[in-house]
Structure formats: structure tokens, C-alpha cells
Amino acid sequence: MRALTLLFLAATCLADTVTMKDGTFLKGRIERIASGVLEMRVPALGEANLQHLQLAQVESFSTEDAVLVSSGGMVSRGEASAAGGRVASKGGVETSPLDAALELWRDPSLRPAETASHRQWVTQADVDVSGRNGVVMGSGFSAGFTAKGVTKANTVTAGVRIVRAESGDHASADDLHATASYETNPTDIVFWYVRSDTGFDKARLIDFFSVNAAGWGFRLHADAKGKLDARLGLAHRYEKYASATEPTLAAPSADIGLMYSRELGWAAWDTSLSFVPSFQTTGDFYVRHETSLNVLRNAGPLSLRVGVSNDYRSKPLPTQVKTDTAYFLRTTYVWK
């Protein structure tokens, strides 16, 4: 029994390692290296979270099992390691530069240069319970589904979320959001995007709404633990209200946003902020915000988030308050 225990402990210690130039040390499984990006799964951060590390910020790495390595010429197979700006493989006699030309992969049929146009999909389903205050009062829940497809050049995301809340013995919210977005992967710091958010919001007496936007994005900061993106574009905002006395809103607008993610060690922090001011009416805008902490993570696909979201309208309908706030506890399941 003792021998089996020692063997098990030794096996669990086996893992690929990466050391970043800022001193960050990661242990997990290197999936591949392509186009100057090292992709790694780190169990401590959740197996579903694939870390994308800029190769220019990698000081060294090593794999515990055989991988395929090439720098545009001969392909070597064996355990690989990098240090001092060079990459060595036990399956080859020559070293390669640790630069953007380096490729590392595991499945012989999935060489990065040959599969760059293949879209890799990750899907996510979640459900939460929430307490709500503002336009919607009482307790409720929401459920959502998201699919993200990534290629070397771009990222496509689509999702749907339903919201239901009750106050006393009647429903105070019955909403739906369907979202879709397309963005190019950043070249240096700049990318471009298009996005759409469509649905209905019974709490605000909106039978149908749609926000469609396009513009430029900027990667303001990125390191081994997180990133900060900003977007600036033009949008069209449309809202049709349940009350026949309220005129339909159709206004050209700006689209301004911030998206921040950060690994804290004990949790993962994600924040998004969207600001859509109207060009048609001065002072007419809305702000949507969500901040969450992924506090329970393990090697499996399940995780738990706690967070808060806010929906602020500068000019709500006459009978409504400006801010709707929800505090939620969300269980998430991710699979590939």
C-alpha cells in the first residue's frame, strides 16, 4: 500500500512547467505553441481555463512527456525544454530559437500550421440564484449558455441568458438576452469587433430591444495573470416599449467598453463595463456592469462564481428607478 501511495504521489507531481520573465511559475500541461503564443492548462486555475501566454514573456519551460517540436523545418519528437532563448528536444540533435516561428503540439494530425483555420470551440452552461434590488425586487434566478470559437485570426462568441425574478406572489422580471460577437485577435494592441445584444426586458417594460455595434478594440495590458481590453465604436440602439403611449426609441450611439480579467491565486476576477451614450438626446445613456470572482475551482469542469451586476439608465421610463442591481451565486459547467 505504501509503495502504491508513493507511486501515486510521484505521478501527480509530474507536470509541464513554465516560468515567465516576471517570475510567475505555472505547472500544468502545455497544449501547444503557435504564432508566438503558448497555450497551457493549469489545474489550479481550472482545467477549463486555457491560459494563453505570450512566448516573448516566457523565460523557460519543460514538458514531462513527448511532444512534437518544429521551427519551420525538421520535426522532432520527445520531451522538450527551453532556456536561454533556445528550445531543445530529446528527439532531435539541434536546438531551435524560442521565438514566434516555434511550433509545439501533441497530436501528429493537429500541427498548428496546418490547423490554423480550424475553429476550436469551448461551451459553457450556468445557472445562478440572485437577490435583486431596483427596477426588480425580490429573489430570482438566471440561466445561460455560451459558445466561443477561436482560430488563429479571430474569435466568435454567441450566447443566450434568461432572467426570472419574483416579488411576493408575482413575477417581477421575465427577461431574455441573446448576444453575438466577432473580434479579430490583437495584432500588437489593436483589434476590431462587431457585437449584437437583442431580446426583451419585461422589468423595464421593453417588448423588444437591440443594440448593434462595431468599432476598434485595444489591448491595454496583458501578462501571465490577466489582461485589460478597451473598445470604442459606433452603435445603434433600438427599444420598443410595452406602453402604447411611449414612442419607440431608435438612436445612433457610441459604444464604449472595458473588459478586465485577473488571476488572483485564490480566485479569478472578471469585470466588464459597457457605456452606450445616445447621439440623439443629450444625457441619454445606459451602463451595464458585471464583476465576478471564480472562488471554487478544481481540475474538473465545474466552478462557482459570486458577483454583482448593475443596469443603469439615465432616462428610464417615468415609473422606474435608474439602477437595477443583482447579487448572484453562479454555478458554471464548461466543456470542449
Q: Give me the pLDDT at residue 263, please.
A: 81
Same domain? For 131 and 36 the reply is no
Question: For position 290, which CATH number holds?
Answer: 2.40.230.20
Domain that holds residue 179: 120-335
Q: What integer is the mean pLDDT of 15-23?
A: 92
Kindly indicate the confidence band of residue 48, based on its pLDDT and cuts at 50, 70 and 90. low
Locate 326 and state its grid cell: 443583482
Cα–Cα dist 112/103, whole Å = 7
Cα–Cα dist 138/116, whole Å = 48
**Among 115, 146, 174, which residue terminates a domain?**
115
Same domain? For 63 and 187 the reply is no
Cα–Cα dist 184/152, whole Å = 9
Q: Give me the pLDDT at residue 11, please.
A: 41
Same domain? For 180 and 215 the reply is yes
Q: Tens digit of pLDDT for each residue in 323-335? A: 989 899 999 998 8
Positive or negative CA dihedral for 227, 266, 269, 12? positive
Q: Give me the pLDDT at residue 169, please.
A: 58
Locate 272 and state its grid cell: 466588464
Same domain? For 228 and 331 the reply is yes
Q: Give me the pLDDT at residue 9, please.
A: 40
Same domain? For 69 and 165 the reply is no
Q: Which residue has the higher pLDDT, 174 or 193?
A: 193
Of the candidate ranges 8-22, 222-236, 252-266, the one whose mean pLDDT is the lowest: 8-22
Same domain? For 158 and 98 the reply is no
Same domain? For 317 and 273 the reply is yes
CA atoms within 13 A on the CB side of 104: 32
Same domain? For 105 and 196 the reply is no
210, pLDDT greater than 90: yes
**Among 115, 137, 170, which residue terminates a domain?**
115
Q: What integer is the mean pLDDT of 115-131?
A: 85
Locate 85 and state its grid cell: 532563448
| Overall domain count for the chain | 2
Same domain? For 284 and 149 the reply is yes
**Among 92, 115, 138, which residue terminates a domain?**
115
Same domain? For 181 and 256 the reply is yes
Same domain? For 59 and 208 the reply is no
Q: What integer is the mean pLDDT of 235-258?
A: 94
Same domain? For 90 and 169 the reply is no
